[in-house]
Structure 1
């Protein structure tokens, strides 16, 4: 860290601040450059003695997330069309919006997998179905809760692996997933 004397001129303070900022950016660039290799795993461990995940481990987790997004797209598309009863009219429209948002999530996750040097999966997790409208919403709620839990884990994994931009993208996805969870809880009378 750069120390700035109180008696120094403002010009010197400005130069010191610039030096600190440039030093930090250089460290970030160096750290990013060192982790560019497809399967790189930094040798040093974190404070708990755990090595950061490799890119291949992050990619594997993201592919699991992508498969869950495919499942959600399928379920939302089907459930929005098959919910029965006047009490489900509003949520059916919301599920259509959820389906398009899940597609946007899938596209972003696939893009991140490709950026990291992986191949996005084309396989979906097994979609669930029910003839009962309430059970359909319960299925979707459980899926959203599982997705949120897994994205939280992926954010930690991405940050430990030095993939900070990825963790920020995933935070944006989680925000929408939590909105979906709220919509489903409201429709089920759980809030």
Structure 2
């Protein structure tokens, strides 16, 4: 099986830790008889950085250049549970498996698939709680006569289209623009912009 390795640390002071991550992941792949297609490693906070190597990894996922993504820990791959599940769902749609070595999670196994089903249910529960809290807050604000809507975020659609043509998935473009994937997709449709149906299809 051909795999892509992804490793990340939060600060430059952890460069040595990054090398250690890569070493452990390469050794794991050697023991498992996996062929390493490429090592994608970078330094930067998952919440703040553009994570260029992560974006390159996801572009290669789109191109189906390997069969699985291997990381050391879940928190090295994504900044939150919701982001993690969104990214893994993209892998699943492309037929690419996900392996987290220290967490003993592999979507290549029935046990690993079950764990992610449970995590998905928890994430959906979290989304429901956020929705309910937001709804209650809006209703309270209305009763108090406060303005409830937030200003419409300006999105440079020309820049979005340019990035898309360069092979960057819309999910990653949305993260860069700091909007949700659904918001970006709807804004494109409102503006009459039709992209090739790589990610725009329902």
TM-score, structure 1 length as denominator?
0.23
Greater fraction helix: 1
Greater fraction strand: 2
Q: Which has the higher contact order (CA 8 A, sep 6+)?
A: 1
Structure having the higher Rg: 1
TM-score, structure 2 length as denominator?
0.22
